[in-house]
Amino acid sequence: MDTLLKATGISKSFGGIQALDRVNFEVAKGEVHAVVGENGAGKSTLMKILTGVYQRDEGQIWFDGAELSAKSPSQCRRSGIGIVFQEPTLIRSLDVKTNIFLGNYPYRKVPGFVNWQKLREDTCSVLEELGVTIDPDTIVSDLTFGKRQMIEIAKVIAHRAKLIILDEPTSALSDEEKDCLFGVIARLKERGTSIIYISHRLPEIFEITDRVTVMRDGRYIGTESTANLNADSLIKMMVGKALEANLHRGSVVADEDILKVKGLGRGKVLSDISFNLRKGEILGVFGLVGSGRTEMARALFGIDKIDCGEIWLDDKKVAIRSPVEAVALGLGFVPESRKEHGIIPLMASGMNITLSALGKCSAASVVNWNSQDGIARGFIKKMGIKVSSPKQAVVNLSGGNQQKVVVSKWLANNPRILILDEPTRGVDVGAKAEIHNLIVQLIKEGLSVIMISSEMEEIMRLADRVLVLYEGRVSGVLDLEELNEENLLKSIHGHFWRPDQNTKGVME
Amino acid sequence: MASDNPKVPNSEAVGSQNPVKARRQVDVVGFVRKYGMVLALVILVVLGSFLSEAFLTPRNLLNVARQVSVIGLLAAGETFVILAGGIDLSVGGVLSASAIFAAYNQNLPFPMLVLSTVLFGMLFGLTTGTLVSRAGITPFIATLGMGTIGEGVAMLLSEGQPIFIENNASIFTTLGNGTFAFIPIPVIVLVGSILIGQLFLSGTTGGVYLKALGGNEEATFWSGINTRKYRTLSFILSGAFVGVAAILAVARTSVGDPVVGQGTTLDAISAVVIGGTYLGGGGVGSVVGTLLGAFIMGSINNLFNLLNVNAYWQMVAKGVIIISAVYIGTRKKR
């Protein structure tokens, strides 16, 4: 087996945070090599180093018999390492041939004038190599997502890539499109191209990869031949960490439902979502990207319309068609994207805090500024928000403090149910611990919380129960006793966990 | 991902340094934002008094104030729309339509006439607001269309001819050219309207929500605020101020002119921008700032006239000033 890529002792840190710690990694010629690991394991950092987006602090990379000296994405591409990102990079308004050879057009005798005939022929030959039939003159926006993915791959092939990195390539594909992609991968393999396949979906890994490399916490755990592994043994390699104490464990959850959701459905994104939230409980929501975590919360909060399903609050059926109605019913939502959905950047921090509760400190729309200021200052003190004054624009605060402002905005409204979507994303370690303690404190004060998180550690520390979603469906509800990494990983990969009410096994 | 690593030292310290650094920044920016305009106006007045003896006289200054009253009112209304992250290109067209509406209905009892003209302007605003917030048409296009409709309505009602004021003539004349305690009545109307607008903006939930809308519409929506309602409200307020401006415009000349609004839209937007309101979102600005902006523009015009500067050069200068104001505004944003 010839080695195409060999990386040894790769380390990378960002501002004192070790993202990769002496990682070794090897890819053979003509193999499909899976890289797996939880969120934060360091997969994407490693790939960014291989493609020249980041520079390594330490370590060596040999590629195709020579040391890889490329220092930028375009140099790496020229040396033969191509990547197909999760996010589409095609220009949708242009046609296929123009996209595939973007920046690399064949010219006529006069430079600057494109030889369209040759471009068309080159495109046909690349597509033929992949074994797909697409008219090179088709506008990209007229193609399905699956076809667009093929174009992305063709674009990489057109640059004569010897190693192609596919990052979660099937996340937006239908089953047939996926089969077609796997056909293309098989063809590429035949002609000796190596593929690094990054995916959270275990069945796919077992279907098409030759070897698997497991990463965890920025470290290299091991490489195994796929044939020697099964789902259980792979998950064991991915976990392997001692359990952290659950912060919330031992607190009292009432045996009474505050919220019941029955058969919630929305297009193809959510189907038949049913669960209950008990008073004073932290219900963790866990799942992969695209599992419907955030979509479920958005539907619940009235941001997206639902097609079917019922929401019951205190045993009363309610309709939530907009955030206005959700807020009136006592719900709050700390969104995943603070910048987009959380803060008004140039507005004063204090005003951001009282934005949602402003109606409560005003009479006939006239604001009582004393009471507004009192509320703002109260939360700045209670939450330990570091501001020079309540007038300081929220955009000038650190990420953790901004997050505290957003949480305060909802607490000022005295909600009964608080939805937290990735409550500690992009905040530093200290602020993270503070926010965790705050959540526990709030539960003790009688709030009920739905907490979405992609960090297993966070879920394990805080949740009383965990609702696991897989491809828009409930794939398991884990009680505190059943809550461990192995069970969580099984559920997020669609393994049927427990025959609960209304839940069905998704995988064989 | 990597930031979760619990072994990292100093992360607390890193987090706590940011606000200190930010504080210094904010004070400078805040100072410029707060007093920059006043400073500009003061410099302008001092400069003007050196350049022309006639400039710094009470009579001339009151004259300037009288001249900016109509544009000032348009700009005040425009402030609400721009503050909420939109733009209103219809104020000129709606001004023409409202002026003709007022002249056309001059037989109505005067209070009724004022009220119905203001309602007429608000109706345009309501239509625009509905197009923007319900039909999802961008403010640029919706107001461009409504402004053109306004121009058309003015021409249809007037048959393209000015409508002279015959009834209520004395009230109109007093309103347009009279004084109260030496202050021209249009100036009193302007300042009074500005104060009411500023009170709304800085005293009510609606004012805060408009700023929030301009600062981040999505986040405002997610905060449980009826964004459609307040988006529409911004246009209705703009329409109401156009209605008041229309009454003044008719009163000053005793005629309903179907093309009175031509060219006023850009002047109004300029006054708002020079007055420190962020164009294209941000949610920062004030109606009082707009008043200062209108005075700055009016003073420059007046000074150029006193100095006999060619009118075409005046246009060039105005363009330069507007671009500079926006440039300074965007620099501040960063």
Q: What is the pLDDT of residues A344-369, one digit of tens each?
A: 999 999 999 999 999 999 999 999 99
- Which residue of chain A has the CA closest to B200? A366
* Residue A458 and residue A404 share a domain: no
* pLDDT tens-place string over residues A144-164: 888 888 899 888 888 888 999
* B interface residues, A as partner, C-beta within 8 Å: 1-12, 14-16, 18-19, 22-23, 25-26, 203-206, 208-209, 211-212, 215-216, 218-226, 278, 282-284, 333
Domain region containing A362:
342-415
**C-beta atoms of B283 and A344 within 8 A:** yes
- C-beta atoms of A346 and B282 within 8 A: yes
Residues A294 and A380 in one domain: no
Helical packing angle, A399-411 and B11-51, nearest 10°:
90
Sort out which chain B residues have CB atoms less than 8 A from A455's CB and list them.
4
Contacts of B8 in chain A (CB under 8 A): 16-17, 429
Q: What percent of chain A has pLDDT over 70?
A: 93
Residue A243 has pLDDT above 50, yes or no: no
Q: Pick the more confident residue, B232 or B11.
A: B232
Q: Which pLDDT value is given to residue A507?
A: 38
On whether residue A264 sits in a domain, the answer given is yes
A contacts of B219 (beta carbons < 8 Å):
340-344
In the three-class reduction of DSSP (H, G, I as helix; E, B as strand; rest coil), residue A159 is classed as coil
Predicted confidence at residue A429, as pLDDT, reads 66
Final residue before a domain boundary, out of A238, A273, A296: A238
Tokens found for residue A421: 């979507």
Count the residues in chain A. 508
Within this chain, do residues A23 and A10 fall inside the same structural domain, yes or no?
yes
Q: List CB contacts (< 8 A) between A388 and chain B.
A: 19, 22-23, 26
Q: Which of A12, A20, A336, A344 is the mutation pick for testing B, counting most B CBs within 10 A?
A: A344
Q: Which residues of A touch B283 (CB under 8 A)?
A: 344, 346-347
Query: A251 in a domain, yes or no?
Result: yes
Q: Which of A415, A437, A470 is the last residue of a domain?
A: A415
Shortest CA distance from A434: residue in chain B: B12
Number of CB atoms found within 10 A of residue A455's CB: 19
CATH number, domain containing residue A507: 3.40.50.300
Whether ipTM exceeds 0.90: no
A159 Cα to chain B: minimum distance (Å): 32
- Inter-chain CB proximity B1 and A400 less than 8 Å: no
Q: Per-residue pLDDT for B171 more than 80?
A: yes
State the DSSP code for A179. H
Instruction: Name the residue of chain A whose CA is nearest to B9's CA.
Output: A16
Quick check: B219 and A342 CB within 8 A?
yes
Q: Which chain A residues are within 8 Å of B211, Cβ to Cβ?
A: 344, 347
Same domain as A296, residue A267: yes
My answer on whether A78 and A168 are in the same domain is yes
Q: Is the model more confident about A49 or about A483?
A: A49
Note the pLDDT tens digit of each residue in B276-287: 898 887 888 999
Is A473 part of a structural domain of the chain? yes
Q: Average pLDDT of A239-268?
A: 74
The answer on A183 and A86 residing in a single domain is yes
Same domain, A282 and A194: no
Contacts of B206 in chain A (CB under 8 A): 365
The residue assigned the tokens 């905060």 is B223
CA-based nearest residue in chain A for residue B229? A324
pLDDT(A283) > 50: yes
pLDDT attached to residue A505? 40
The label of the residue with tokens 């003896």 reads: B53
Which of B15, B25, B221 shows the shortest C-beta gap to A400?
B15
Taking the CA of residue B265 and the nearest CA in chain A, the distance in Å comes to 27
Instruction: Chain A: give the shortest CA distance to residue B10, in Å.
Output: 9
Residue A68 bridge partners (DSSP) = none
pLDDT-derived band of residue A70, with 50, 70 and 90 as boundaries? Answer: confident
CA A467 vs CA A459, A464, B14: distances in Å: 10, 10, 35
Question: Does A121 map to a domain?
Answer: yes
Same domain as A205, residue A151? yes
Q: B218 vs A40: CB contact, 8 Å cut-off? A: no
Q: Are residues A325 and A368 in the same domain?
A: no
User: What pLDDT, on the 0 to 100 scale, is given for residue B33?
Assistant: 57
- Determine the distance in angstroms separating the CA of A387 from the nearest CA of chain B, rounded to an integer: 6
Considering the domain boundaries, does residue A441 fall inside one? no
Where does a domain end: A238, A258, A285?
A238
CA angle, corner A442, sides to A438 and A446, nearest 5? 170
State whether A388 and B206 contact (CB < 8 Å).
no
Whether A81 maps to a domain, the answer reads: yes
Per-residue pLDDT for B132 more than 50?
yes
- Catalogue all structural domains in chain B, each as residue range(s) with its CATH number: 37-48+59-333 (1.10.3470)
Q: A168-179 in b/e burial notation, b at 16+ Cβ within 10 A?
A: bbbebbeeebbe
**Mean pLDDT value across residues A175-181:** 83
pLDDT tens for A263-273 read: 999 988 899 99
CB within 8 Å: B205 and A365: yes
Nearest to B8 among A16, A367, A426 (CB): A16
**Does A497 have pLDDT greater than 70?**
no
Percent of chain B predicted with pLDDT > 70:
87
B285-322 tens-digit pLDDT:
999 999 999 999 999 889 999 999 888 888 888 888 87
- What are the residues facing A197 on neighbouring strands? A34, A166
Q: Are residues A208 and A76 in the same domain?
A: yes
Partners of A409 on chain B (C-beta within 8 Å) are 223
In a domain, residue A129? The reply is yes
**Contact residues, chain B, for A365 at CB < 8 Å:** 204-206
Q: To probe the interface with A, which of B222, B229, B278, B332 has the most A CB atoms within 10 Å?
A: B222
Which residues of A are less than 8 Å from B199 in CB distance?
Answer: none
Same domain? A51 vs A88: yes
CB contact at 8 A, B254 and B158: no
Task: Identify whether the C-beta of residue B269 lies closer than 8 Å to the C-beta of residue B87.
Answer: yes
B129 pLDDT higher than 80: yes
Which backbone phi and psi does A476 adopt, to 5 degrees? Answer: 175, 150
* Domain total in chain A: 3
- A442 within some domain: no
Three state DSSP letters for chain B: CHHHCCCCCCHHHHHHHHHHHHHHHHHHHHHHHHHHHHHHHHHHHHHHHHHCCCCCCHHHHHHHHHHHHHHHHHHHHHHHHHHCCCCCCCHHHHHHHHHHHHHHCCCCCHHHHHHHHHHHHHHHHHHHHHHHHCCCCCHHHHHHHHHHHHHHHHHHHHCCCCEECCCCHHHHHHHHHCEECCEEHHHHHHHHHHHHHHHHHHHEHHHHHHHHHHHCHHHHHHCCCCHHHHHHHHHHHHHHHHHHHHHHHHHHHCEECCCCCCCHHHHHHHHHHHCCCCCCCCCCCCHHHHHHHHHHHHHHHHHHHHCCCCHHHHHHHHHHHHHHHHHHHHHHHC
CA distance B38 to chain A (A): 21
The sheet carrying A448-452 orders its strands as A331-334, A417-421, A448-452, A282-286, A465-470, A473-478
> What does the pLDDT read at residue B2?
38
CB < 8 Å to A375, chain B? none
Pair A195, A143 in one domain = yes
